[in-house]
Amino acid sequence: MGYSTDTRTLRRGDIYVAIQGERYDGHHFVADAIGKGASKAIVERAIDGIPPEKLDIVDNAIVHLADLAAFRIRKSQSQVIAITGSVGKTTTRSAITEVLRTSGPVVSSTGNLNTLLGLSLTLVNSDLQKETRLVLEMGASKKGDLADICHYFKPDISVITNVRGVHLEMLGSIEGVQYEKSELVRALESKGIACLNADDPWTRGMVTQCKGEHVFYGKSADAHIQPHDITASVPLLGDHVIYILMAAFCVGHVLGIAPDTINHALSHLKPQKGRLNRLLGKDGSILIDDSYNASPDAVMAALQVLSSQSAKRRVVFLGDMLELGDKEEEAHRDILLRAAENADLIYGCGTRLQNAAKHLYSQRNLEIKCYPESQGLARELASGSIYAPQSGDVILVKGSQGARMERVSRALLSEDVSPESVLPRQSKAWLSI
């Protein structure tokens, strides 16, 4: 028996949880869930036509799930390794999971399930054995998100990757981002351990808020874990990868795992879907799919990766970056200017990039082809009317989740590669949006 919030993936015997969301109210689908074999439904109000014995009425369905998950953590005496940061959370989570699997049972959060709801669902649907280690990626898009998560899933070890200017629309400033991310450090008890990126000043500064121990990783002279500790050969792109490996090494180190064991585990890392994943493109081209999400720093890093690739032509498809607040216009102009330095062909997707391209054309006579949205751009690419990949082309696709640039990657992917196996957001639910 599991818990499900989606009638499209619900299995017979599952408990359906009706979530009141911004776009959909799960209570409208309770009858459908019961009809598909749900054993009962957790709801926040009575539902006409559904027998009372099939309903478990609670004040708040998300809080109810979080309470269930927290109870399971206490019962199993599981250790919580919490990860947050502006960039690199997901790959860092995967690296830490690989390392910890060498020493016992591990449950890791998956996909983009890094909210209180997503993490609660993961935990109530997982088999938590005695002293399972939980590797939980924790995300924040507004003030208080991480405090809510840490209230239910209190970290024993906290890992902070970095602090960048993302979610500024909701968090207000880089200082606001730092304060929100540092919740994972403040939540630690005296026996807790903070693993902090020593080379990022905003992250390093969190040490003053740590009641427990701290371990620095980075290239700084005072870092406890440094690049020379990493001997694994890892097939991941980008200079930032060393920080992911050091963060994972740091967690393994504080848990007493031998260095050789840690490096052996890291050597098994594979690229994550939508994160600088080097794939076969059409007609002998190479596709670097980085479509999962985007921020200014992440786009700049991806363009640096593109410039390092041997290619006859370098081609870039950039989608809008979201939630940048008053930095939005400047940030989109900056990435187009950097793209012009690193690519032979540039395509933009989204209204923000369209506006930035118009400005650069009027100010610098820099002409960049832009399209209003990714669905139409993908159709044009499929027809071959605007760009045809050639052998020797290296193509970068990057954009925020809301830009849905995986549609563009799908149109450029080799016919011999299954999109479902390598690209993000390929489920029926995502494809229907």
Determine the number of helices (DSSP H) and then strands (DSSP E) in the chain. 18, 16
Residue 181 in contact with residue 210, Cβ under 8 Å?
no
Full-model pTM: 0.87
What are the backbone angles phi and psi of residue 24, rounded to the nearest 5°? -130, 150
Per-residue pLDDT, 81: 98
Per-residue pLDDT, 65: 97
Sign of CA dihedral 283, 288, 292, 294: negative
The pLDDT profile of the chain, 433 residues, written as one tens digit per residue, is 799 999 988 999 999 999 998 788 999 999 999 999 999 999 999 999 999 999 999 999 999 999 999 999 999 999 999 999 998 899 999 999 999 999 999 999 987 889 999 999 999 999 999 989 999 999 988 899 999 999 999 999 999 999 987 777 777 788 988 999 999 999 999 999 999 999 999 999 999 999 999 999 999 999 999 999 999 999 899 889 999 999 999 999 999 999 999 999 999 999 989 999 999 999 999 999 999 999 999 999 999 999 999 999 999 999 999 988 888 999 999 999 999 999 999 999 999 999 999 999 888 888 899 999 999 999 999 998 999 999 999 999 999 999 999 999 999 999 999 999 999 999 887 888 8
Question: Which tokens is 433 given?
Answer: 């949006």
Question: Which tokens is 365 given?
Answer: 């006579």
Per-residue pLDDT, 131: 86
What are the backbone angles phi and psi of residue 53, rounded to the nearest 5°? -70, -15
269 alpha carbon, distance to own chain's centre = 16
What is the enclosing helix (H) or strand (E) of 56? Answer: strand 55-57
Per-residue pLDDT, 365: 82
Distance between CA atoms of residues 68 and 153, nearest Å: 11
Distance between CA atoms of residues 42 and 27, nearest Å: 9
Distance between CA atoms of residues 8 and 5, nearest Å: 9
Distance between CA atoms of residues 347 and 357, nearest Å: 10
The Cα diameter of the chain in Å comes to 69
Number of C-beta neighbours around residue 127 at 10 A: 9
